Amino acid sequence: MSTAVLQARGVRKSFGHTEVLSGIDLDVTPGETVVVLGPSGSGKSTFLRCINLLESLDAGRITVDGRDVGYDVRNGRLHELSPNEIARRRKDIGMVFQQFNLFPHMTALENIIEAPIAVLGEGRREATARAVDLLAEVGLAGREKAYPRQLSGGQQQRVAIARALAMRPKLMLFDEPTSALDPELVGEVLATMKRLASAGLTMVVVTHEISFAREAADRVVFMDAGQVVEQGTPEQVIDNPQHERTRAFLSRFL
């Protein structure tokens, strides 16, 4: 296949009788930061969740690093994989959730080392050393022993980012990572994400932070009603939108 980290072709998904994704095409190349904008309910979260198979697709195909997460190709046909094999393929895709979803019964450090030990087979000492570095990288040096509840929302989300990074993902998905935060805490999380973007991490970011899209995105994708309406550089899509739906959406942020 090509050099794209993520390739989505004709992705469709329905819940009951309502079609939430109506044929999504998207390519993401290595090191690229793609920001997905769009009104609430347009299917942004569903699309991200299809990428790491938290939701199954009804039609179309998604490959990450040239491989389907949920299927093997044999004799020119896709064959469904077992849950354990799917789990193994998910390890290359990091995900950061709106509600953080940290493990509340584990300290920050334990949150970060759990999957590297369980999935990558890293030794505890090695995983711990790396977790300490990662915490420092997201500005939380010395908070190894804190439980999630003892941290602010912004700090929790940065631990969640460190937890995802500990798996050395080839692709990171962010689903409205700052939407659950108090306004004064949004900046610290966005600053962390900007650093990751300029360090060359491949990222797909769903957000309503237009300023982040402007400063960090290589490409902006506007989604509405389960379709990609338009995409391009931040200047093209944000400053000079071609479609009425994009203009209507962006006018709310002026």
Partner 1 sequence: MATTVQDAPAAGLELDVRNAAHRKHPWRWLSALVVLVFAAQLVKMLITNDNFGWDVVWSWLRAESIVRGLGITLMLTVVAMVIGVVLGVLLAVCRISANPLLRGAAGLYIWFFRGTPTLVQLIFFYNLSALLPKLNLGIPFGPVFASVDTNTLITPLLAAILGLGLNEGAYMAEIVRGGLLSVDPGQREAGQALGMKNSRIMKRIILPQAMRFIVPPTGNQVISMVKATALVSVIALSDLLYTAQSIYNRTFETIPMLIVVCLWYLAVTSVLYVVQSFIERHYNRGARHQAPSFWDFLRIRPKGSAA
What are the residues binding partner 1 (CB under 8 A)?
A: 52, 54, 83-84, 87-95, 97, 99, 101-107, 114-115, 118-119, 147-149, 163-164, 167
Q: Which stretch binds ligand ADP (CB under 6 A): 42-50, 166-174, 228-236, 243-251?
A: 42-50
Tell me whether residue 40 or residue 251 sits nearer to ligand ADP (CB atom): 40
Token pair for 189: 């999380």
Rg (alpha carbons) of the chain, rounded to whole number: 18
Tell me whether residue 32 or residue 176 sits nearer to ligand ADP (CB atom): 176
Is residue 245 close enough to count as binding ligand ADP by CB under 6 A? Answer: no
Is residue 40 close enough to count as binding ligand ADP by CB under 6 A? Answer: yes
> What minimum distance in Å lies between the beta carbon of 115 and partner 1?
4
Is residue 207 close enough to count as binding Mg ion by CB under 5 A? Answer: no
Token pair for 207: 């957000």
Is residue 128 close enough to count as binding Mg ion by CB under 5 A? Answer: no
Residue with the two structure tokens 């692709």: 171
Is residue 157 close enough to count as binding Mg ion by CB under 5 A? Answer: no
User: Which does residue 167 bind out of ligand ADP, Mg ion, partner 1, none, counting CB within 5 to 8 angstroms by kind?
Assistant: partner 1
Enumerate residues 6+ apart whose C-beta is below 8 A from 65.
5, 92, 170, 171
> What minimum distance in Å lies between the beta carbon of 26 and Mg ion?
16
CA dihedral 100, 46, 166, 88 (to 10 degrees): 130
Contact criterion met (CB below 8 Å) for 177 and 208: no
How many whole angstroms from its chain centre is CA 176? 9
> What minimum distance in Å lies between the beta carbon of 135 and ligand ADP?
29
Is residue 207 close enough to count as binding ligand ADP by CB under 6 A? Answer: no
Enumerate residues 6+ apart whose C-beta is below 8 A from 230.
221, 222, 237, 241, 242, 243, 246
> What minimum distance in Å lies between the beta carbon of 235 and ligand ADP?
24
Pairing between strand 6-15 and 77-80? unpaired
> What minimum distance in Å lies between the beta carbon of 88 and ligand ADP?
25
